[in-house]
């Protein structure tokens, strides 16, 4: 039995990863550590909560004693580190939290894993690996439409969020270079799919459209992102854990570049196709809901990941075309209205008004 410590497992990608791993593997145990901030939701894991091979521990990755205790009481083989403050808008309002969680929290995890896995001679126990999950935003913005982000692209972060993730990446690299620490890094493009917190573009637009609310689009809506269905990302992470060369980093991208305004219009069109004619919500869903709002500060124009390395060396390819993935995603949200209603109550409404002013 291989023991996985998943940080941030109650969040969007983390919870999808846990579901994915239990579907694909029988001989694993997962310990999920999450502090349950606004983006963490144990409702994402209802289907696995009673499994004998699953344990949830509420803890903050910045809490040195709590993290060290987890390592001392469990023979952790793999750390999959998702836990992070991840929303750019929130980082602009409160950058300190992002530095504390994303940088200090990563350092605490690295130190705890190093102490638990290191032999007396400075080598590390066999079969151990630390997988640090990062973002394409650390690379900055692409101005040439023919350019892509590669693993060798220099870092050029522009937001407090991406700067904090870049700092965490460099910490992991330093542990690899200094201690020969058994780690890999992955840098992914924009994920979408089930359980995503509705401050992110796709679930925000789905929820607003279904509620007949305005669809706020930053600036001219022509910022380009590369979209990756979350299950494809989880598959890539699993492959890097099993086959990734120690110390290497791998970009995971979907080759699905879209302007933000294209994404919004696709959601409108897909909802119109999926909803039955007698659904009262259908009449109110149109492009008339699109509302352009003041652009985000420091808004990067284009991200585009080149997943050539992971495809060439590990055989990873995305299975889900965007046209299929967006339908799967919209259907999931339509079937989980209670989940969305619960998430978007209370504090979320105040945050939404403050961010978009619509």
How far apart, in whole angstroms, are the C-alpha atoms of residue 36 and residue 41?
6
Candidates 60, 85, 137, 169; catalytic one: 137
Candidates 34, 60, 136, 199; catalytic one: 136
136 is catalytic: yes
With beta carbons less than 8 A apart as the criterion, state whether 5 and 80 touch: yes
Residue 42 DSSP one-character state: G
- Torsion on CA atoms 225, 218, 285, 348, rounded to nearest 10: 100
259 is catalytic: no
User: What is the sign of the dihedral through the CA atoms of 293, 294, 297 and 303?
Assistant: positive
How far apart, in whole angstroms, are the C-alpha atoms of residue 139 and residue 153?
7
How is residue 72 written in tokens? 């001392």
147 is catalytic: no
Enclosing H/E stretch for 113? helix 105-117
How far apart, in whole angstroms, are the C-alpha atoms of residue 38 and residue 130?
26
How far apart, in whole angstroms, are the C-alpha atoms of residue 4 and residue 184?
15
- Taking the CA atoms of the chain, what radius of gyration do you get in angstroms? 20
Sheet of 78-81: strand order equals: 54-58, 28-34, 2-7, 78-81, 129-135, 183-188, 249-252
Candidates 4, 139, 161, 303; catalytic one: 161
Q: Annotated active-site positions, please?
A: 136-137, 161
């Amino acid at each position: 039995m291989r023991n996985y410590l998943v940080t941030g497992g109650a969040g969007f990608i983390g919870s999808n990863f846990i579901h994915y791993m239990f579907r694909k593997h029988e001989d694993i145990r997962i310990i999920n550590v999450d502090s349950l901030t606004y983006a963490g939701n144990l409702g994402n894991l209802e289907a696995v909560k009673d499994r004998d091979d699953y344990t949830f521990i509420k803890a903050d990755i910045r809490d040195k004693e709590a993290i060290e205790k987890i390592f001392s009481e469990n023979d952790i083989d793999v750390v999959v580190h998702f836990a992070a403050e991840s929303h750019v808008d929130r980082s602009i309002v409160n950058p300190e939290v992002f530095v504390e969680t994303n940088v200090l929290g990563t350092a605490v995890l690295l130190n705890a894993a190093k102490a638990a896995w290191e032999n007396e001679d400075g080598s590390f126990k066999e079969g151990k690996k630390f997988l640090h999950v990062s973002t394409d935003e650390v690379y900055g913005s692409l101005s040439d439409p023919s350019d892509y982000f590669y693993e060798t692209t220099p870092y050029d972060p522009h937001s407090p969020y991406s700067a904090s993730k870049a700092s965490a990446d460099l910490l992991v690299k330093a542990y690899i270079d200094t201690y020969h620490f058994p780690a890999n890094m992955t840098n992914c493009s924009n994920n979408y799919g089930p359980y995503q917190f509705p401050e992110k573009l796709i679930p925000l637009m789905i929820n607003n459209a279904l509620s007949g609310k305005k669809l706020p689009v930053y600036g001219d809506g022509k910022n380009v992102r590369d979209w990756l269905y979350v299950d494809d990302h989880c598959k890539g992470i699993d492959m890097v854990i099993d086959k990734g060369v120690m110390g290497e980093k791998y970009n995971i991208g979907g080759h699905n570049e879209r302007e933000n305004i294209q994404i919004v219009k696709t959601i409108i069109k897909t909802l119109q196709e999926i909803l039955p004619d007698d659904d009262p919500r259908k009449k109110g869903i149109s492009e008339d809901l699109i509302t352009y709002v003041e652009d985000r500060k420091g808004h990067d124009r284009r991200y585009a990941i080149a997943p050539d390395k992971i495809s060439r060396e590990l055989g990873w390819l995305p299975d889900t075309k965007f046209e299929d993935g967006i339908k799967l995603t919209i259907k999931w949200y339509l079937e989980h209205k209670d989940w969305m209603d619960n998430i978007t109550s209370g504090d979320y409404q105040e945050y939404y008004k403050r961010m978009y002013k619509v």
